[in-house]
Amino acid sequence: MLLQVLSAKNEDVKKRVIIDICCAKTHVMKISWDDMQTVLALVRGGSLSEAGAELGLTYTTVARRIRRAEEALGRPLFERRPEGYHPTEDALEIAEAAGRMEAEEQAALRRLSGKAQDLSGPLTLTAPPLLIQTLLAPLLAEFTARNPQVELTVLASNGVLDLSRREADLALRISRQPQDTLVGRKLVDQMSGVFAVPEIAHAAAKDPQTPLDWVLYAGHEAPPLAARKVHSDIRVRARLDDMPSMIAAALAGMGALRMPVFLSRAFPGLVPLPHLAAQTYAPIWLLSHRDLQGSAKVAAMKSVLEPWFRQNSAVFTSLS
C-alpha cells in the first residue's frame, strides 16, 4: 500500500490535501488531512475525548471524522474496546504518515517563527504554577509593559510540554536533566530545606530525640535521609500529591516538610528547622527549541528573565 502525500503552501489549501491510498486492485481511496490528523490523535490518546482535547474538537466531531476515514478505507481503523479505541495496523500506518506530515509542518512553522523579528503576535511560555504565583508574575507584567503588541500566553504546568510540537515557545523547567534536544541555559541552582510551623521547628531543634511529625510527598517512600539521620523517630502524618497541599498541611501544624527554599519566602508561617542543613535541589532552566533562537519575541522574554534570576540567585539557595 502506497501513501502519497500532496503538499500545500497555506492552511486553506492544506485542509483540502488529499491522501491517495492506492491498493493492488487500483481502487483509490481518499482520506483528508483533517481525518488523518484525527486518526493520529486517537492513536495517541486512545479515546474520543482525549483526541478531541488534543485537536480542540468535540468527541462527536472526532467520531464523525473517524467514521469518514473508515468509510474511505472500506474497513475499520479501530477496535472499540471497553478500555478505549485500539488501532488496527491500517490506523497505525496512517498515524505514522500523519506524524511525519505533522513534524514537517511544525518544523517549518518553527523555522518561520525563529526568523520573525517583530515584537508582536503570539508567544507561549510554560512554567511551574508555584514559580508563577510566587515570583514570576511581576516579571511577566514587566515583559508585557515593554512589549504591548506581544500576545503572551502562560501555561502553568509541572508537566513537560513538547516544544518540538510548538505546545510552547519557551519553558521554565525545574530539572536535573533537561531535554538535550532543546537549547537554553541554567538560570539558577537551587537548594531545599525542611520547614514547619515555629512550634514544631523549635521543639525539633531543642531535642532531636523527640518524635517529629512529617508531611510527605506521595511519590516518595520516606523523608530525606539527612533528616532521618538526625531524627530517629519521624512519623509521617500524611502523604499528599502536590506541593500546595503539602504546604497547607504544614501550615495547619500537621508536620514538617521539605521544599525549595524560594517557596518558603512566600509562606512566612513556616520557618526552617535550623539544625537541618539545606540540601541540593534541581536547578531552574530556561529552554526553547533551537529553531527559535533567532526569534525577537523569545529574545525579549529572555532579556527579562535571565538578568532577574542571575541577580536574585540567593532567593533560591539561601535559607536566611
Comparing 43-52, 102-111, 253-262, the range with the smallest average pLDDT is 102-111
pLDDT tens digits for range 54-86: 888 998 999 999 999 999 889 999 998 888 899
Mean pLDDT computed over 164-187? 77
The terminus-to-terminus CA distance of the chain in angstroms comes to: 67
Q: In this prediction, what percent of the chain has a pLDDT beyond 90? A: 60
Of the ranges 19-23, 155-159, 213-217, 302-306, which one carries the lowest mean pLDDT score?
19-23
266-315 pLDDT, tens digit each:
999 999 999 999 999 999 999 887 776 778 888 899 999 999 999 999 99
pLDDT in tens, 191-205: 999 999 999 999 999
Q: Give the DSSP H/E element, type plus range, for residue 30.
A: strand 28-32
What kind of fold does domain 2-114 have according to CATH? Answer: Arc Repressor Mutant, subunit A (1.10.10)
For residues 207-222, average pLDDT = 94
CATH architecture group of domain 121-187+286-304: 3-Layer(aba) Sandwich (3.40)
CA-to-CA distance for 160 and 111, rounded, in angstroms?
22
In the chain, where the domains are located: 2-114, 121-187+286-304, 191-281
Q: For strands 28-32 and 84-87, give the pairing.
A: unpaired
Check for a shared fold between 2-114 and 121-187+286-304: no
Note the CATH architecture for domain 191-281. Answer: 3-Layer(aba) Sandwich (3.40)
**pLDDT score recorded for residue 181:** 63
**Cα torsion at 230, 232, 236, 239 (round to 10°)?**
50
**Which helix (DSSP H) or strand (DSSP E) does residue 217 occupy?**
strand 212-217
What's the pLDDT score for residue 144?
96
pTM, rounded to two decimals: 0.64
